Amino acid sequence: MTPHPSKDPDISPRLVLLLALASGLIVANLYYAQTLVGPISAATGLSSGAAGLIVTLTQLGYALGLLFIVPLGDLVENRRLVTAALLLTALALMAAAASTRAWQFLAAALLVGVGSVAAQVLVPFAAHLSREETRGRTVGKVVSGLLLGIMLARPAASLVANYAGWQLVFGGASLLILLLAAVLWRQLPRRVPAATLGYSELIGSMWRLFATTPLLRRRAAYHAGLFASFSLFWTVAPMLLAGPRFQLSQNGIALFALVGMAGAVASPFAGRLADAGHTLPATAAALLLGISGCALPLFAPDSRHAALALLVAASIVLDMAVAANLVLGQRAIFGLPAQQRSRLNGLYFALFFAGGALGSALGAWLYARFGWQAAMLAGMAFPALALPLWFGELGQSAGTRRATAAPGDAG
């Protein structure tokens, strides 16, 4: 059921577009290094055994920022918080570009992750500025920008590095983030939360929020399963594409990733479904799409071109599932009290990023030990494990409807 329209002014389409663009540019910083591990390691003297730290430390920094910086969105003025985080990110990106030793790049990567959580301050900001009846659509559009940033970062970094070197990727990103900080400082309205807690109490309250908010735990579990599949697929697919069967170049893999980003179109549609009260069935559809995305490659024919086409279709289906479910989850979470949104959003992202880290690590291990099919079976299993939780929510929802209808039936 659509909520009764509010008389409060809604967020402008121009500001929604700016927030979507900003979210994509910021979150892209987390993914530039993923396709550049080889050249970065060679330039900084990082051993092949430790090369994985480039990605791991960026993700670790992001997790720390989610848990200790994003909650500040419930405490301090949001525009100032975003700008400060972006300045940190720009400095860290420039330090990464100038790195000549492994420890310098790794330290910069950690700080890039910490500062990039500015994106997760902007998404609750957009929700706060939206009316209740349009909040899902607004969040869907902003999350579309965020997902496009994730999906475009890898191919863009590969293409730039191929022609101009990996240092330009990080140096150029630093300049973009500095420009973005200036634009957001001028364009964002001030938002001062009605804070009643100090910082230590704010951080301490997060465990309590997790323990007392079943909706958060459910949505985090759904998306952890899907994000695990997503991360697994995008970890092992480039290995398969570069291998003897497909023999794609770095540019070919970049084009493959560009085609897969078509799945981001699901975000606005998911937002509309959530606004119309269809979150539960839309969640089931997302989980089933996630299972299907990893199942499709198992039916690849012998033909190289047909198999590649099936892989492209799988990437689009899987990206659609992740894009839709992310919006559904954030729309549900942002329906909870406004003074908790930043903390809830930080917890939500931290939890499902843990699922993504597990999927990526397990996928790489399974691919190395048992092959592509084993990795895809694991990718199917992650969202499948969330289905029993969905059936439990369906039963609770049906029970609530019966309880609500009972007094009227009796009359």
- What's 118's domain CATH number? 1.20.1250.20
Task: Kindly state the percentage of the chain with pLDDT values over 70.
Answer: 93
Tokens of 49: 């055994």
What DSSP element (H or E) covers 297?
none
Backbone angles phi, psi at 192, to 5 degrees: -105, 110
- In three-state secondary structure terms, 395 is helix
What is the Cα 188 distance to its own chain's centre? Answer: 22
Residue 248 lies in a domain: yes
Residue 5 lies in a domain: no
- Its sign, for the CA torsion 63, 68, 71, 73, is negative
| C-alpha distances out from residue 358 to 66, 257, 363, Å | 18, 21, 8
Residue 351 lies in a domain: yes
Does residue 110 register a pLDDT over 90? yes
| C-alpha distances out from residue 340 to 6, 74, 204, 268, 352, Å | 21, 6, 13, 24, 18
Does residue 287 register a pLDDT over 80? yes
More confident: 263 or 149: 149
With a CB cutoff of 8 Å and minimum separation 6, the contacts of 59 are: 30, 113, 353, 357
237/255 Cα distance (integer angstroms): 13
> What is the pLDDT at residue 396?
83
Report the alpha-carbon angle 135-321-350, nearest 5: 70
pTM score: 0.78
269/280 Cα distance (integer angstroms): 14
What is the Cβ-side half-sphere exposure of residue 326, based on CA atoms within 13 angstroms?
A: 31
| C-alpha distances out from residue 380 to 227, 232, 296, 312, Å | 11, 10, 10, 17
Residue 290 lies in a domain: yes
| C-alpha distances out from residue 72 to 190, 194, 206, 307, 373, Å | 15, 12, 12, 47, 43
107/61 Cα distance (integer angstroms): 10
Backbone angles phi, psi at 302, to 5 degrees: -70, -30
For 26-83, how does the pLDDT look when each residue is reduced to its tens digit (9 = 90+)? 999 998 887 777 788 889 988 755 666 777 788 788 888 988 998 888 888 989 999 9
Residue 162 lies in a domain: yes
In 3D space, the residue among 277, 221, 3 whose CA is nearest the CA of residue 131 turns out to be: 3
Residue 2 lies in a domain: no
Domain count, the chain: 1
Q: Are 236 and 339 in contact (CB under 8 A)?
A: no
Residue 4 lies in a domain: no
For 145-194, how does the pLDDT look when each residue is reduced to its tens digit (9 = 90+)? 887 888 788 888 888 888 899 999 999 999 999 999 999 999 998 888 77
300/285 Cα distance (integer angstroms): 23
How large is the average pLDDT for residues 290-304?
89
> What is the pLDDT at residue 220?
94
> What is the pLDDT at residue 259?
80
Task: Kindly state the percentage of the chain with pLDDT values over 90.
Answer: 37
Residue range of the domain that includes 291:
13-404
Q: Are 140 and 325 in contact (CB under 8 A)?
A: no
How large is the average pLDDT for residues 281-293?
95
Residue 1 lies in a domain: no
Tokens of 140: 């869907």
Q: Average the pLDDT over each of 177-181, 215-219, 257-261, 377-381 and give the range with the smallest value.
A: 257-261
